[in-house]
Structure formats: C-alpha cells, structure tokens
Structure 1
Amino acid sequence: MSSTQEKNDLEQASHSTNERPDYHIISRFFIPSEFNLTSTLELLLSYQTVLQADINLARLFEFPLASDHKAAGLASLFTSTEPCVLGIEEISDASISWADVVRSPLYDAELQGNGTYHVRIQKGNALLELSKVDHDFIGTKIPRQLVDPHSYLSDLVSEITATQSTFEHITSWQEIIVQLSIAAKDLLANLTERVEILKEKHSALEAHTGNQKDAGVKIWGHDTYGYIYSDEINAAFSSFLDYPVALVYKGPEPRVVQGNGSPDRVGRVQTINFPDEFPVLIASDAPLKELNTRLISNGVDPITIERFRPNIIVRGEKPWIEDLWKLVRIKATPSKDWCDDAPQEVEQEPLFMDIVTRCGRCQVPNVDPDSAVKHKKQPWDTLVSYRRVDAGLKYKPCFGMMGMPRKEGVVEVGMRFEVLEETTEHRYIM
C-alpha cells in the first residue's frame, strides 16, 4: 500500500463525527428487539382486540389456557370438522379452524341463494361458506364464550401473571436503556477524543517524516513497516553515534506476535511495534545474584540487571524458578509493609500476563550499557556453561521470561507479582 493511499485512508477515517455514515446495517441489528417491544406494547394497549384476535400475553408466553383446551374440541359442536374455505387472499401458516372463525374480530356474513352464508374472517382474509345452522350457532355467542379467556378464572390469572412479568421486564429494560445510553455517550466521547489524538499524531508524523515509508525495516530477518524521520532529525543521532542511522516510527500495519505467542497458541491476536519478538520481558533479581556469584568466583566484576534489558524486574528469592511461570498477575498491594515503594492507592484492576517462553540470550549482555564497552567473554561464557535449558534454544543460554499481557494495564514499582499457574512444558518456537 502506498503512503498516499495510507494518508487518504486515515483522512477518511478521521472525518468529523458530524458526518454520519449509512446506518442501515446497524438498524437491521435492532429490528428484532424493536419488533418485540412494539408487539408487546400493542398487546398491552389493545387488550380487548388482542383477546378477540386469538392472541394474548399468556398465550404469547405459552401458558396453558383452559380456553385453548375448549377451542381444540370446538369442532364437535358444528356440522363439519372444519369450515369450508372458498379462498384465502393472504398466505396463512395453518388451516382455518372453527376457533379461528369464532375468535375473528371480522365476521362479515352474506346470505346466498342456496341458504348458505359466505363469511369473511380475519385470518388469511379467508372467505368461508357456512351452513345456516353453523351461522346461527355462532350468532348465539356461545362458541365465543367457550373460547374467550375472560370466561375462565385460571386464564385471567395467567394473563395477570404474564402482564406483571411484562411490566417487570419493561422496567428492567428502562434501567438498561438508561445505562446503555450513558455508556454509549461515554464511548462516543472517548472515540471522538481518540480520533483527534490520531489526527494530531498523523499531522506531527507527516511534518517530521513526510510520510516516507520504508518497507525494508527488518527485525531479526522479519520485515515490517516504518516511517523514516527526516534527515534534519536523523543528523543528530548519526553525529552522536558517528555512524549513519535513521529514526523510524512504526507504521500502521499490525505486526502480529508469532511463534510461542501466535494466535493459535494463545487464543488471541496480539501485536507489537519494534521489540524483538514479544511485548514484555520479565527478569528476577534472584538469578542475577546467583550469576554474579559465579562471575565473582571467575574473577569477573558483577553486572547489573540492565545488561538484560527487562521491562519488569521482580524481587525474587529462589533463582531460576521463573522457568516454570505460565500465568502471572500484577496488582497493587493494600499495604506498604513489604516494600517502601509500594503504591499508596489501590484503584486499577490487576494485570494478567501469559508467560509464553524463556528468553534466549545473545552476547549483547556482554556490553556495559554505561560505557558501551563489550567484554570479550562474560557473562556469555558463564551463562552458556549452565543455562542452555530450553530444547528449542539449543545453543543459547536463557535469562528472563517473555510475557504477553491479556489487556492494557498499569505497572508501577512496588506492585505485587503473583504466579498463578506453572508449567514444565516451556519450549521456544521460532
């Protein structure tokens, strides 16, 4: 994708929130809920009509009704088991029964020359032919009373129960709608703020890089995208390092974690910018102390944890126990007794992190980060002598563990670090 295309895409995504897209897809999502609400409302507002139309709340909720039981045996009172249907103008989902005739609010009868009656009923807008006996029997209102829920105490109780339940649910819907409206308003504000931040970031990035995109950015052989800053900015870095270098800003294309952190292994897609392979490196000070003991015995000065460039440093007691970590939790502690630097307030949610693999080390820890002087052998030689412990990293020693947070969170000095799950199955996968 060209930088011009990316710019156009971002500008289109950053349009003012006053410009509304076509919401017909979103509207279709709400149609079933709107139908349920309006149907229930119609039942409540038109109760008498609803009863006559063979529908009421109790029947809608599938309550057993005495009137329905009577309706099932209504045919025995007429001259035929089913009414004679001359035609149906609208598609009906079932045949016409005598209960449909009796309950129909539309009963338009016309006497025919042969003494029968042509009757139009509501269901399917069907046209029926009834004998004079059946027509006169319907005229007595007796069949209507037999199938009318108002005629039975149990049916009325069922309808009261259904109405009360509907009222309770509508009340809860009102509360949910209020909460949903508040949440949607807050989300809209947050998204609008995010759009403005992205627009500002894009403007600053364009000013410093001119959107010059280099597809040749490589991290350990893996291609990714970045925006190269201008020569004016890069000149300061090149001068200090006495070597031509360029500052690069990660482009918008996601760089998905692979290997031990691939989606099929951790069950989610997680992206990174320019780290080697994983978002977080955790190290414990206990193995560092153990390593320094070996270095001192070999006549080498002890080193600091900065040599291994961890994001999070854990105060440990037993060295190398981190090899077993699988799931950890980082959270604020309510007490400062165990650490002077512990945060005072406990507000943020705990941060859960999957520990996916050990960290195989190269010889960068041989370089003193303060002086940039590289030791020819240490601590590499010492680590190699006893820390080649991962079958997937045959020729590399291990120090530290790679973590993948399950969501964004706050990490502060003094927080409590808890190991929730352990495993003996860690094996590095390229």
Structure 2
Amino acid sequence: MDFAFDARTEELRAKLLAFMDEYVYPAEQVAHEQRERAASPWETVPVVEELKAEARRQGLWNLFLPDGGYGAGLTNLQYAPLAEIMGRSPQLAPTVTNCAAPDTGNMEVLAQFGDAAQKKQWLEPLLAGEIRSAFAMTEPEVASSDATNITTRIERDGDDYVITGRKWYISGAMHPDCAIFIVMGKTDPDGADLRRQQSMVLVPRNTPGVTIKRAMQVFGYEDHYHGGHAEVIFDQARVPVSNLIGEEGGGFAIAQARLGPGRIHHCMRLIGMAERAIELMCRRAVSRNAFGKALAQQGVVQNWIADARVAVEQVRLLVLKTAWMMDTVGNRGAHTEIQAIKIATPRTVVGILDRAIQLYGAGGVSQDFPLAELYAGARTLMLADGPDEVHQRSLARRELKKYL
C-alpha cells in the first residue's frame, strides 16, 4: 500500500486548499448573514452561487464521481484527501463543489444504473448543478436499519407505477431546487427472497400525490445548506414504468452499491471536521487563560490535543486503506474495511468534537463557533447509512465465520 499522493492529487489538493482559504472560509459568516436576511431559509444565498461558479471555473467540480465520462475520474484514494479538505467546512465546501450528499449518491446511481433517457433528463442537470435531488429510503413506522422492513408500496398499474408510503429524514427534499426523488419501495412484498422485494423509481417532486409535510430537525438544526431533511408523503403518486431504475427487485442491490461509496465519503469528510476541531482547540488553548496560566499549559488540555492528534491519524490511515482496497478489489472485497471505518470514524470524531466543545465552554455550544453544528453532523453519522450496531453485527459475523 502506497498512500503517497500522485501528481494529480497534489495539484488538486493545492488548488482546493487555496480555494478554501481564499473563498470558502471567508464566506462562512457571509453565508450565515445572508441566510438570516433571506425570504426563505431554504433558498440558495448569493454567496453560494458565487462560490459554485468559482469552483467550476477552477475545475473543482464533481470531484467525487470516479466515472471519467461524467465526473473527475478520480479513484477513491485520490478523492480521499480532497474530501477531507472539504470536510473542514462541511456546510459550504461540498455544496459549492457539487460534491454534497445526497446528490453525490444519486448521481452515482444514475451513472451506474440509469438508462440513457434517465441520464439525459436527470443526471446531466445534476452534474451541472442546475437541480438538486433527494433519496427516499428511511421510514418512521419501521426499523429502517433493516431495509427489508420498508413498507412503501410501488404497485404496477398498466404503464404506470403507483407509489404509496411515508418517508422521513429525506435529505435535500426541502431545497427549492430539488426536482427529483429516488424512491425505494416494495414491488413484490410477498416475494420469497426478502432482498428482491424492493425496487427504486424516479419520482419528480412536482408529481401529484407527493407532499413535503415538514422539515425534520437534527439536534435543533435544519441543515439549510444541504436542503434539509424532510418528512415526505407519497399518496398514490403515479409515474411511468420507464422511471424504474434498473430492474424490478433490484432496489436492495442498488442501495448497497450506493451506500458503499457514500459511507467512505462521509468518513473522509469527518476527518476534515476533526482537523478543524483540533485547529480550533489549539487556537483557543493559546489565547485563553484560566487559573493563572494559558489553557495550553494545562495538562488536561494538552492531553486532549495529543489524544485527538493520535486518534485522527489512526482513522485517516484506516480510511486510506479502505479507499485503496475499494480501488483494487472493489466494494465487495473491501466490505469489512468499509464497515470498520463506518464504526470507528464517527465515534472518534464525536469524541474529538466533544473535547473541543468543552474547551470552548459556553461558546462551544453556541452559534458563534462551528463546533456545535459539527458535533450534530458527526453524531448523526453514527445513525446515517446504517447505525453502528448493524455494522458491528455484520462485522462480527464475518470474523466469527472463520472459526465456525
């Protein structure tokens, strides 16, 4: 394993670091102030559009997509350090580079499984940043950690599918530019194979029977930059059969193909969040005094900073190894490693952010610093894309199988 950055990665890192320093970090407060003055909290504020134009001009656009025909054509190992940099400003940087979830996963699904017409109608405008999208999988009435529990129905009626169900925490659905949902539901609820009961269909947001009921909060935050997390009702929403992605019964397999890259992208960005937290800790520690000396001279603070550095270096190496394995042996071959980073990285970063908040005192839980919002995002990733316990269960079974 050679984790040295190649020439293209080094070039993109340099450009992205400069873009962050010159444009993104200064825009964080500007975006916050513009959002407070906006007519709707969900509308895209002017500075975001300005940053998107600049990112695209500099070639810092669609870096996540390994398909060179649509995206930058980077490997996971090449993209990892770039996603980490973007993770230092998770509300702005992924959005303005068109590398934000859930659009990234949806574009990957369309690129890999969509037909020519679906790519033309939905993938191309997503790649151009002209529209946004949402992925409708999680449901409030069932334990969605087990995707076979999904109850939303996708019923064939002549040349149409009729979708009925209730979803929530559907990321991106509140955004006014969200034009399309990828909806997972059951086309064969009584099928013998639990993993062949589900299918995925494309449902335009303006389809009759689709209702955005409310915005769901995450620890009090509504995540305006990424289009929020909505509760969505599908009440006999009707779409053409041609809106099916792949084949009937292929929804579970498509979901797994989508979630693998999504999990590692989240972990890459989490490392950037941890680095931002360590930087903030160090700046705070050298600028504040307590009990007659700087916080940086307090033994407990030194321990927090040292432990944070050790922890982030450990998870970075594990994420890089996983990226390398996904590139060399595929997602299936890297299954154990993907689960390992999904378990380890959010826990590690939550711990680092918790110490950073403690160091900032009351400021740490306020809106004056990014730590509280970073914590909410990191803690949520212990649930998103499968809760930790599901991955632990699967990983343990894989380890025990060697001895049975």
TM over 0.5: no
Structure with greater contact order relative to length (CA < 8 Å, sep ≥ 6): 2
Q: Give 1 or 2 for the bigger CA radius of gyration.
A: 1
Going by fraction, where is helix more abundant, 1 or 2?
2
TM-score w.r.t. length of structure 2: 0.21
| Superposition TM-score, scaled by structure 1 size | 0.20
